[in-house]
Amino acid sequence: MNDIKNIGILTGGGDTPATNAIIRAAYIKAVMHGYKISGIKNGWDGLITGNVFEMDRELVSGILDRGGTILGSARVNPFKIENGVEMVKENINKFSIDAIICIGEDDTNVVMHRLGQYGLKGVGIPQTIDNDINYNDYSIGFDTAVEIATDAIDKLHTTASSHHRIMILEVMGREAGWIALYSGIAGGADLILIPEVQFDYDYIVNVIEGRRERGRDYSIIVVAEGAKPDTRKMKLEVKPLIELGSHGVIGGIGNTIAKEIERRTGYETRVTVLGHLQRGGKPTAFDRILATRMGIKSIELINENKFDYMVCFEGNNISAEPMEKVLSQYKEMDLELYEIAKIFN
Protein backbone atom coordinates (compact mmCIF):
# COMPACT_ATOMS: atom_id res chain seq x y z
CA MET A 1 0.00 0.00 0.00
CA ASN A 2 0.93 3.67 -0.02
CA ASP A 3 -0.02 6.98 1.57
CA ILE A 4 -2.25 8.10 -1.35
CA LYS A 5 -5.82 8.97 -0.38
CA ASN A 6 -7.06 11.36 -3.01
CA ILE A 7 -6.34 10.98 -6.73
CA GLY A 8 -7.00 13.81 -9.17
CA ILE A 9 -7.88 13.05 -12.82
CA LEU A 10 -7.41 15.50 -15.66
CA THR A 11 -7.76 15.36 -19.44
CA GLY A 12 -5.68 17.76 -21.54
CA GLY A 13 -4.79 18.52 -25.15
CA GLY A 14 -6.95 17.50 -28.10
CA ASP A 15 -9.84 15.36 -26.91
CA THR A 16 -10.50 11.92 -28.38
CA PRO A 17 -13.31 9.41 -28.37
CA ALA A 18 -12.83 6.90 -25.48
CA THR A 19 -11.41 9.42 -23.02
CA ASN A 20 -14.54 8.95 -20.95
CA ALA A 21 -13.95 5.19 -20.98
CA ILE A 22 -10.57 5.80 -19.30
CA ILE A 23 -12.13 8.04 -16.66
CA ARG A 24 -14.85 5.48 -15.96
CA ALA A 25 -12.40 2.57 -15.58
CA ALA A 26 -9.95 4.53 -13.42
CA TYR A 27 -12.76 5.78 -11.19
CA ILE A 28 -14.30 2.36 -10.61
CA LYS A 29 -10.96 0.67 -9.96
CA ALA A 30 -9.86 3.51 -7.65
CA VAL A 31 -13.01 3.30 -5.56
CA MET A 32 -12.45 -0.47 -5.20
CA HIS A 33 -9.15 0.38 -3.53
CA GLY A 34 -10.69 2.98 -1.26
CA TYR A 35 -9.33 6.09 -2.97
CA LYS A 36 -11.23 9.33 -3.22
CA ILE A 37 -11.29 10.74 -6.77
CA SER A 38 -11.18 14.43 -7.62
CA GLY A 39 -12.14 15.60 -11.09
CA ILE A 40 -9.96 18.41 -12.41
CA LYS A 41 -11.70 20.49 -15.07
CA ASN A 42 -10.13 21.49 -18.40
CA GLY A 43 -6.70 19.94 -18.14
CA TRP A 44 -4.01 21.85 -16.27
CA ASP A 45 -6.22 24.92 -16.26
CA GLY A 46 -8.32 23.32 -13.51
CA LEU A 47 -5.31 23.24 -11.19
CA ILE A 48 -4.42 26.84 -11.98
CA THR A 49 -7.92 28.16 -11.34
CA GLY A 50 -8.97 25.66 -8.64
CA ASN A 51 -11.71 24.10 -10.74
CA VAL A 52 -11.73 20.79 -8.87
CA PHE A 53 -14.62 18.71 -7.53
CA GLU A 54 -15.21 15.36 -5.88
CA MET A 55 -16.40 12.77 -8.38
CA ASP A 56 -19.12 10.22 -7.67
CA ARG A 57 -20.36 7.00 -9.27
CA GLU A 58 -23.29 8.74 -10.95
CA LEU A 59 -20.91 10.93 -12.95
CA VAL A 60 -19.23 7.98 -14.65
CA SER A 61 -22.30 5.94 -15.44
CA GLY A 62 -23.42 5.85 -19.07
CA ILE A 63 -20.24 7.43 -20.40
CA LEU A 64 -18.42 4.39 -21.83
CA ASP A 65 -19.60 5.07 -25.38
CA ARG A 66 -19.71 8.87 -25.17
CA GLY A 67 -17.14 10.89 -27.12
CA GLY A 68 -15.39 13.93 -25.72
CA THR A 69 -14.45 14.19 -22.07
CA ILE A 70 -16.76 14.83 -19.13
CA LEU A 71 -13.87 16.70 -17.48
CA GLY A 72 -13.36 19.15 -20.33
CA SER A 73 -10.04 19.79 -22.02
CA ALA A 74 -7.71 22.68 -22.78
CA ARG A 75 -4.21 23.30 -24.05
CA VAL A 76 -2.99 25.20 -21.00
CA ASN A 77 0.55 25.01 -19.69
CA PRO A 78 1.27 26.22 -16.15
CA PHE A 79 4.93 26.67 -17.10
CA LYS A 80 3.88 29.31 -19.62
CA ILE A 81 1.69 31.30 -17.26
CA GLU A 82 3.06 33.70 -14.69
CA ASN A 83 3.02 31.96 -11.29
CA GLY A 84 1.31 29.01 -13.00
CA VAL A 85 3.32 26.38 -11.19
CA GLU A 86 2.79 28.14 -7.85
CA MET A 87 -0.95 28.17 -8.45
CA VAL A 88 -0.93 24.46 -9.29
CA LYS A 89 0.96 23.72 -6.07
CA GLU A 90 -1.47 25.83 -4.02
CA ASN A 91 -4.49 24.05 -5.43
CA ILE A 92 -2.88 20.64 -4.98
CA ASN A 93 -2.60 21.51 -1.28
CA LYS A 94 -5.99 23.16 -1.06
CA PHE A 95 -7.78 20.10 -2.51
CA SER A 96 -5.45 17.62 -0.77
CA ILE A 97 -4.59 15.85 -4.01
CA ASP A 98 -1.91 13.20 -3.45
CA ALA A 99 -1.47 11.97 -7.02
CA ILE A 100 -2.68 12.74 -10.52
CA ILE A 101 -3.79 10.64 -13.47
CA CYS A 102 -2.84 12.75 -16.45
CA ILE A 103 -4.72 11.77 -19.61
CA GLY A 104 -3.50 13.46 -22.76
CA GLU A 105 -1.09 13.72 -25.62
CA ASP A 106 2.63 14.27 -25.24
CA ASP A 107 2.44 17.99 -24.41
CA THR A 108 0.03 17.48 -21.51
CA ASN A 109 2.14 14.64 -20.16
CA VAL A 110 5.34 16.66 -20.43
CA VAL A 111 3.78 19.08 -17.94
CA MET A 112 3.05 16.15 -15.62
CA HIS A 113 6.61 14.97 -15.93
CA ARG A 114 8.04 18.43 -15.25
CA LEU A 115 5.79 18.93 -12.22
CA GLY A 116 7.26 15.72 -10.87
CA GLN A 117 10.41 17.74 -10.27
CA TYR A 118 8.32 19.85 -7.83
CA GLY A 119 7.26 16.76 -5.93
CA LEU A 120 3.93 16.20 -7.66
CA LYS A 121 3.15 12.50 -8.07
CA GLY A 122 1.50 11.40 -11.27
CA VAL A 123 1.03 8.78 -13.95
CA GLY A 124 0.31 9.42 -17.62
CA ILE A 125 -2.12 7.84 -20.06
CA PRO A 126 -1.45 8.31 -23.80
CA GLN A 127 -4.55 9.72 -25.41
CA THR A 128 -4.27 11.22 -28.88
CA ILE A 129 -5.66 10.44 -32.29
CA ASP A 130 -2.21 11.30 -33.69
CA ASN A 131 -0.80 8.01 -32.31
CA ASP A 132 2.62 9.61 -31.92
CA ILE A 133 3.50 8.60 -28.37
CA ASN A 134 6.47 6.32 -28.07
CA TYR A 135 6.20 2.78 -26.67
CA ASN A 136 2.56 2.71 -27.73
CA ASP A 137 1.38 0.75 -30.75
CA TYR A 138 -1.94 2.51 -30.33
CA SER A 139 -2.79 5.56 -28.27
CA ILE A 140 -6.37 6.07 -27.23
CA GLY A 141 -8.56 7.59 -29.94
CA PHE A 142 -6.37 6.56 -32.85
CA ASP A 143 -8.41 3.53 -33.85
CA THR A 144 -11.61 5.56 -33.91
CA ALA A 145 -9.99 8.31 -35.98
CA VAL A 146 -8.78 5.69 -38.48
CA GLU A 147 -12.31 4.28 -38.76
CA ILE A 148 -13.69 7.76 -39.45
CA ALA A 149 -11.03 8.54 -42.05
CA THR A 150 -11.48 5.14 -43.73
CA ASP A 151 -15.20 5.73 -44.00
CA ALA A 152 -14.48 9.11 -45.62
CA ILE A 153 -12.16 7.46 -48.18
CA ASP A 154 -14.84 4.88 -49.02
CA LYS A 155 -17.29 7.70 -49.70
CA LEU A 156 -14.81 9.70 -51.75
CA HIS A 157 -14.16 6.68 -53.97
CA THR A 158 -17.65 6.63 -55.41
CA THR A 159 -17.84 10.32 -56.25
CA ALA A 160 -14.24 10.39 -57.52
CA SER A 161 -15.00 7.67 -60.08
CA SER A 162 -18.31 9.28 -61.16
CA HIS A 163 -16.66 12.63 -61.86
CA HIS A 164 -13.26 11.38 -63.05
CA ARG A 165 -11.52 13.53 -60.48
CA ILE A 166 -8.60 13.46 -58.13
CA MET A 167 -9.88 13.52 -54.57
CA ILE A 168 -7.56 14.59 -51.79
CA LEU A 169 -8.40 13.79 -48.18
CA GLU A 170 -6.40 15.80 -45.64
CA VAL A 171 -6.27 14.14 -42.23
CA MET A 172 -4.88 15.15 -38.84
CA GLY A 173 -1.72 13.97 -37.14
CA ARG A 174 0.53 17.01 -36.86
CA GLU A 175 4.07 15.73 -37.52
CA ALA A 176 2.92 12.10 -37.61
CA GLY A 177 1.42 10.22 -40.52
CA TRP A 178 -0.28 7.37 -38.68
CA ILE A 179 -3.89 8.31 -39.43
CA ALA A 180 -3.02 8.87 -43.09
CA LEU A 181 -1.12 5.60 -43.39
CA TYR A 182 -3.64 3.35 -41.64
CA SER A 183 -6.76 4.87 -43.20
CA GLY A 184 -5.04 5.06 -46.58
CA ILE A 185 -4.30 1.35 -46.55
CA ALA A 186 -7.71 0.43 -45.16
CA GLY A 187 -9.50 2.62 -47.70
CA GLY A 188 -7.37 1.63 -50.68
CA ALA A 189 -5.98 5.11 -51.36
CA ASP A 190 -3.85 5.43 -54.49
CA LEU A 191 -1.32 7.66 -52.78
CA ILE A 192 -0.53 8.25 -49.12
CA LEU A 193 1.56 11.25 -48.13
CA ILE A 194 3.00 11.41 -44.63
CA PRO A 195 5.27 13.91 -42.84
CA GLU A 196 7.95 11.30 -42.17
CA VAL A 197 8.68 10.88 -45.88
CA GLN A 198 8.83 14.10 -47.81
CA PHE A 199 6.91 13.77 -51.05
CA ASP A 200 7.82 14.41 -54.65
CA TYR A 201 5.37 15.99 -57.12
CA ASP A 202 6.87 14.06 -60.06
CA TYR A 203 6.11 10.81 -58.29
CA ILE A 204 2.51 11.88 -57.57
CA VAL A 205 1.98 12.81 -61.21
CA ASN A 206 3.50 9.51 -62.38
CA VAL A 207 1.10 7.54 -60.23
CA ILE A 208 -1.90 9.51 -61.49
CA GLU A 209 -0.80 9.23 -65.13
CA GLY A 210 0.01 5.55 -64.72
CA ARG A 211 -3.54 4.98 -63.52
CA ARG A 212 -4.92 7.01 -66.44
CA GLU A 213 -3.00 4.75 -68.84
CA ARG A 214 -4.61 1.71 -67.19
CA GLY A 215 -8.06 3.23 -67.67
CA ARG A 216 -8.40 4.53 -64.15
CA ASP A 217 -9.37 8.14 -64.67
CA TYR A 218 -9.64 9.08 -61.00
CA SER A 219 -7.42 8.80 -57.93
CA ILE A 220 -7.68 9.13 -54.18
CA ILE A 221 -4.86 10.77 -52.24
CA VAL A 222 -4.69 10.79 -48.46
CA VAL A 223 -2.39 13.45 -47.08
CA ALA A 224 -1.43 14.02 -43.45
CA GLU A 225 -1.73 17.67 -42.47
CA GLY A 226 2.00 17.82 -41.66
CA ALA A 227 3.23 16.33 -44.97
CA LYS A 228 5.86 18.36 -46.80
CA PRO A 229 7.09 18.33 -50.37
CA ASP A 230 10.28 17.48 -52.09
CA THR A 231 13.57 16.54 -50.56
CA ARG A 232 12.43 12.95 -49.82
CA LYS A 233 14.66 12.82 -46.78
CA MET A 234 13.75 10.83 -43.70
CA LYS A 235 13.09 12.88 -40.62
CA LEU A 236 13.47 10.64 -37.60
CA GLU A 237 15.38 12.55 -35.02
CA VAL A 238 15.33 12.98 -31.27
CA LYS A 239 12.49 15.28 -30.42
CA PRO A 240 12.83 17.83 -27.62
CA LEU A 241 10.10 17.64 -24.98
CA ILE A 242 7.26 19.71 -26.41
CA GLU A 243 5.90 22.69 -24.52
CA LEU A 244 2.13 22.52 -24.11
CA GLY A 245 0.57 25.63 -25.57
CA SER A 246 3.00 25.79 -28.46
CA HIS A 247 0.50 24.16 -30.84
CA GLY A 248 -0.13 26.39 -33.83
CA VAL A 249 -2.89 25.46 -36.25
CA ILE A 250 -1.49 23.48 -39.18
CA GLY A 251 -3.06 22.26 -42.37
CA GLY A 252 -3.76 23.46 -45.89
CA ILE A 253 -1.29 21.16 -47.63
CA GLY A 254 -4.19 19.43 -49.43
CA ASN A 255 -5.06 22.62 -51.31
CA THR A 256 -1.45 23.25 -52.26
CA ILE A 257 -1.13 19.75 -53.70
CA ALA A 258 -4.48 20.04 -55.49
CA LYS A 259 -3.36 23.15 -57.39
CA GLU A 260 -0.15 21.49 -58.47
CA ILE A 261 -1.94 18.33 -59.65
CA GLU A 262 -4.47 20.32 -61.66
CA ARG A 263 -1.70 22.33 -63.25
CA ARG A 264 0.36 19.28 -64.17
CA THR A 265 -2.30 16.73 -65.13
CA GLY A 266 -5.37 18.75 -66.09
CA TYR A 267 -7.50 16.64 -63.76
CA GLU A 268 -10.18 18.42 -61.75
CA THR A 269 -9.06 18.03 -58.17
CA ARG A 270 -11.11 18.45 -54.99
CA VAL A 271 -10.00 18.59 -51.38
CA THR A 272 -11.79 17.37 -48.27
CA VAL A 273 -10.31 18.44 -44.94
CA LEU A 274 -11.66 15.93 -42.45
CA GLY A 275 -10.72 18.10 -39.46
CA HIS A 276 -12.30 17.66 -36.07
CA LEU A 277 -14.75 15.02 -37.28
CA GLN A 278 -11.81 12.69 -36.58
CA ARG A 279 -11.99 13.52 -32.90
CA GLY A 280 -15.75 13.29 -32.44
CA GLY A 281 -18.46 10.74 -31.91
CA LYS A 282 -18.55 7.25 -30.47
CA PRO A 283 -15.32 5.34 -29.84
CA THR A 284 -14.74 1.99 -31.53
CA ALA A 285 -14.92 -1.18 -29.46
CA PHE A 286 -11.12 -1.42 -29.70
CA ASP A 287 -10.66 2.06 -28.22
CA ARG A 288 -13.14 1.38 -25.44
CA ILE A 289 -11.28 -1.77 -24.44
CA LEU A 290 -7.85 -0.11 -24.65
CA ALA A 291 -9.11 2.84 -22.61
CA THR A 292 -10.55 0.52 -20.00
CA ARG A 293 -7.30 -1.44 -19.70
CA MET A 294 -5.22 1.71 -19.46
CA GLY A 295 -7.50 3.30 -16.87
CA ILE A 296 -7.18 0.18 -14.70
CA LYS A 297 -3.39 0.12 -15.18
CA SER A 298 -3.05 3.71 -13.97
CA ILE A 299 -4.55 2.78 -10.61
CA GLU A 300 -2.35 -0.32 -10.40
CA LEU A 301 0.71 1.89 -10.88
CA ILE A 302 -0.46 4.18 -8.09
CA ASN A 303 -1.06 1.14 -5.86
CA GLU A 304 2.54 0.11 -6.53
CA ASN A 305 3.83 3.62 -5.76
CA LYS A 306 5.14 3.93 -9.32
CA PHE A 307 5.04 7.56 -10.32
CA ASP A 308 6.38 9.51 -13.27
CA TYR A 309 5.41 6.54 -15.44
CA MET A 310 3.36 6.43 -18.60
CA VAL A 311 0.95 3.60 -19.25
CA CYS A 312 1.99 1.89 -22.50
CA PHE A 313 0.51 -0.57 -25.00
CA GLU A 314 2.80 -2.79 -27.04
CA GLY A 315 2.06 -6.14 -28.66
CA ASN A 316 -1.35 -6.27 -26.97
CA ASN A 317 0.29 -5.92 -23.55
CA ILE A 318 -0.38 -3.07 -21.18
CA SER A 319 2.81 -2.02 -19.44
CA ALA A 320 4.46 1.16 -18.17
CA GLU A 321 7.62 3.08 -19.02
CA PRO A 322 9.27 6.09 -17.34
CA MET A 323 7.83 9.35 -18.67
CA GLU A 324 11.25 10.69 -19.58
CA LYS A 325 11.93 7.66 -21.79
CA VAL A 326 8.54 7.88 -23.50
CA LEU A 327 8.48 11.62 -24.08
CA SER A 328 12.01 12.32 -25.20
CA GLN A 329 11.94 10.48 -28.53
CA TYR A 330 9.91 10.42 -31.68
CA LYS A 331 7.77 7.38 -32.16
CA GLU A 332 9.27 6.03 -35.33
CA MET A 333 7.01 5.61 -38.31
CA ASP A 334 6.46 2.05 -39.48
CA LEU A 335 8.27 2.40 -42.78
CA GLU A 336 7.77 -1.25 -43.67
CA LEU A 337 4.05 -0.66 -43.61
CA TYR A 338 4.54 2.49 -45.66
CA GLU A 339 6.39 0.41 -48.28
CA ILE A 340 3.52 -2.08 -48.32
CA ALA A 341 1.13 0.80 -48.97
CA LYS A 342 3.24 1.88 -51.96
CA ILE A 343 2.68 -1.48 -53.64
CA PHE A 344 -0.85 -0.26 -54.38
CA ASN A 345 0.16 3.07 -55.92
- Chain residues that interact with ligand F6P, rule: CB under 6 A: 13-14, 75, 105, 128-130, 172-174, 225, 247, 249-250, 279
Q: How far is the CB of 132 from ligand F6P (least distance, A)?
A: 9
CB atoms within 10 A of CB 100: 27
Q: Which is nearer to ligand F6P, 38 or 73 (CB)?
A: 73
Query: Is 137 tagged catalytic?
Result: no
126 membership: H or E segment, kind and range: strand 122-126
Catalytic residue from among 45, 130, 132, 143: 130
Q: Which is nearer to ligand F6P, 261 or 327 (CB)?
A: 327
- Contact 193/160 with Cβ under 8 angstroms? no
Residue number closest to ligand F6P, CB atom: 14
Q: How far is the CB of 324 from ligand F6P (least distance, A)?
A: 22
Bridge partners, residue 271, by sequence:
168
- Contact 51/95 with Cβ under 8 angstroms? no
CB atoms within 10 A of CB 1: 8
Q: How far is the CB of 250 from ligand F6P (least distance, A)?
A: 6
Q: How far is the CB of 32 from ligand F6P (least distance, A)?
A: 31
- Contact 128/174 with Cβ under 8 angstroms? no
Quote the crossing angle between the two packed helices 178-187 and 142-163, to the nearest 10°: 50
Q: How far is the CB of 174 from ligand F6P (least distance, A)?
A: 5
Total residue count of the chain as it appears in this document: 345
Report how far apart, in Å, the C-alpha atoms of 221 and of each of 147, 173, 234, 264 are: 17, 16, 20, 16
Q: Which is nearer to ligand F6P, 160 or 179 (CB)?
A: 179
In whole angstroms, what is the distance from residue 345 CA to residue 340 CA?
10
Q: Which is nearer to ligand F6P, 105 or 308 (CB)?
A: 105
Q: Which is nearer to ligand F6P, 99 or 290 (CB)?
A: 290
Catalytic residues: 130
